[in-house]
Chains A and B, each alone.
Chain A
Amino acid sequence: GQQVMQIPQYQHVQEGEDFTTYCNSSTTLSNIQWYKQRPGGHPVFLIQLVKSGEVKKQKRLTFQFGEAKKNSSLHITATQTTDVGTYFCAGPFSGGYQKVTFGTGTKLQVIP
């Protein structure tokens, strides 16, 4: 079945360092979403990418969709302690409706 893997599983960075998480799908995705879950919280939608090779920025966060639409990345520049959490990518399930398959997630810890 459809699988969405993320690497790394965990990442510890010093505050101010950059961070990148990668999302890889076993199938081509029509679009991809990214969510952030703070410790003890629930996932919160960040962004959706639709076009091949698309790049979107939200302040220090840069999201990219691969040319083949099978992978995506989230890059955070100069991490802050507020960036702590787990980042999930999610792709549409091949079922023709509004179901997504969530990636395995990358847990980010920022050391002050």
Chain B
Amino acid sequence: GAGVSQSPSNKVTEKGKDVELRCDPISGHTALYWYRQSLGQGLEFLIYFQGNSAPDKSGLPSDRFSAERTGGSVSTLTIQRTQQEDSAVYLCASTFVGTGLQPQHFGDGTRLSIL
């Protein structure tokens, strides 16, 4: 597709369950980002990928959060033993890496609700 694709669009799960969120970036975009946005709040940086490596994981809130990227394309964000405070919209963005800062292209996000 032409844009960043995220799935599922909505996820409701019980506290303590594991969840996996998927991001399919724009073809050719080597940089990929995960953000978290709580209701009415700003964008909280989670992790950044360049290709398959993650040079910056500084935003991951705890060791329950992990992410991987394979083939320089699709990325998955996994949250283990979910807690109610994990409820938020998880946004993925990708960019083309070129000269200077490039625009970030966002997906529609996954709305995660922990019961």
Contacts and interface: CB of A to CB of B under 8 A. Distances in A.
Chain B interface: which size bin? 20 to 34
Given A43-B43, A97-B50, A98-B95, A33 B103 contact: yes
Interface residues of A, number: 25
Interface stretch (A44-52, A55-63, A65-73): A44-52
Contacts of A12: none
Interface string B75-112: 00000000000000001010101001111111111000
A100 B44 CA distance: 11
Nearest to A99: B48
Contacts of B48: 97-99
Interface of A: 30-31, 33, 35, 41-45, 48, 50, 88, 90, 92, 95, 97-105, 107
Given A88-B42, A99-B45, 14 more contacts: A33-B104, A35-B104, A42-B107, A42-B109, A43-B43, A43-B91, A43-B93, A43-B106, A45-B104, A48-B103, A97-B31, A97-B48, A97-B56, A98-B31
